[in-house]
């Protein structure tokens, strides 16, 4: 069965320090992978996506993620956190076929940024 696991429900960093949000997936197929960000009381905004091209994907606001097939991971990173990065982040996997219209959500990671 396909699944997505975000390993941390809450990550806290200081402004200017690196950010690492972890995501692992389980799939029998090659998936497409996405990271979305959600600010309070807002919809979900796409940060970046992997669709079987380059394994290192760059997104908006300085975020990037690396697809590692051997580790079935798609961790999100940013070299230097900004206060405006404080939000909820969701790792989403899309498969051909499957359930839920083939979009599977992780449970989310709340990122806090301390001054």
Q: Which parts of 1-40 interact with another protein (CB under 8 A)?
A: 31-32, 34, 36
Among 28, 56, 96, 115, binds another protein (CB under 8 A): 96
Give the binding range for another protein (CB under 8 A) out of 14-22, 65-73, 79-87, 99-107: 99-107
Cα–Cα separations (whole angstroms), residue 105 to 16, 20, 63, 101: 29, 18, 19, 11
Tell me how far, at minimum, the Cβ of 108 lies from another protein, in Å: 4
Q: Which of 1, 41, 69, 70 is close enough to bind another protein by CB under 8 A?
A: 41
Strand-pair category, 45-50 with 32-38: antiparallel
- Decide: 1 and 100 in contact? Cβ < 8 Å: no
> Can you tell me whether residue 102 is helix, strand or coil?
helix
Is residue 114 a contact residue for another protein (CB under 8 A)? no
């Amino acid at each position: 069965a396909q699944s997505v696991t975000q390993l941390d429900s809450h990550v806290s960093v200081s402004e200017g320090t690196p950010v690492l949000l972890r995501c692992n997936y389980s799939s029998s197929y090659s998936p497409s992978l996405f990271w979305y960000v959600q600010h309070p009381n807002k919809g979900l905004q796409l940060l970046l996506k992997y669709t079987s091209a380059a394994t290192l994907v760059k997104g908006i606001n300085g975020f990037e993620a690396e697809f590692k097939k051997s580790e079935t991971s798609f961790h999100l990173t940013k070299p230097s956190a900004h206060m405006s990065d404080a939000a909820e982040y969701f790792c989403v996997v899309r498969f051909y076929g499957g359930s839920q219209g083939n979009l599977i959500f992780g449970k989310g990671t709340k990122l806090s940024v301390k001054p």
